[in-house]
């Protein structure tokens, strides 16, 4: 059974900002990155547990998983046949601050 993938509004904003930033420098790279995200969301819908469980105790306790797309981390939770994407953040960012 395929799970529905839903992005919270903050994750939609993250994705929009990422694609806008990359596209400003290179439009084809922005388009390719958007395709990578769309393919990864489809893959998550087919295999919800494919993402890793974070090492950080706080995120693990809350039930987050993450999936790597290029240089970005897609943080999500599995909820009743749905994948809920909470944030999409650059891997070099101090993301723990955003989950406190």
Q: What is the pLDDT of residues 52-96, one digit of tens each?
A: 999 989 899 999 999 999 999 999 999 989 999 999 999 887 777
Kindly state the average pLDDT of the residues 23-49.
Answer: 96
Pairing between strand 4-7 and 65-69?
unpaired
Domains, the chain, in order of start with CATH, read 4-99 (3.30.2310.20)
Give percent of the chain above pLDDT 70: 97
pLDDT at 6: 97
Strand, helix or coil at 95? helix
Task: Determine the Cα–Cα distance for residues 94 and 75; give it in Å rounded to an integer.
Answer: 13
Residue 14: Cβ within 10 Å count: 21
């Amino acid at each position: 059974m395929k799970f529905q993938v839903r992005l919270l509004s903050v994750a939609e904003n993250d994705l929009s900002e990422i694609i806008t930033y990359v596209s400003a420098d290179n439009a084809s790279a922005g388009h390719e990155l958007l395709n990578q995200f769309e393919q990864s969301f489809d893959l998550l819908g087919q295999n919800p547990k494919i993402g890793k469980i974070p090492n950080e105790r706080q995120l693990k306790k809350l039930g987050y998983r993450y999936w790597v797309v290029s240089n970005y981390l897609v943080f999500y939770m599995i909820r009743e046949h749905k994948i809920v994407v909470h944030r999409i953040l650059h891997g070099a960012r101090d993301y723990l601050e955003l989950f406190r």
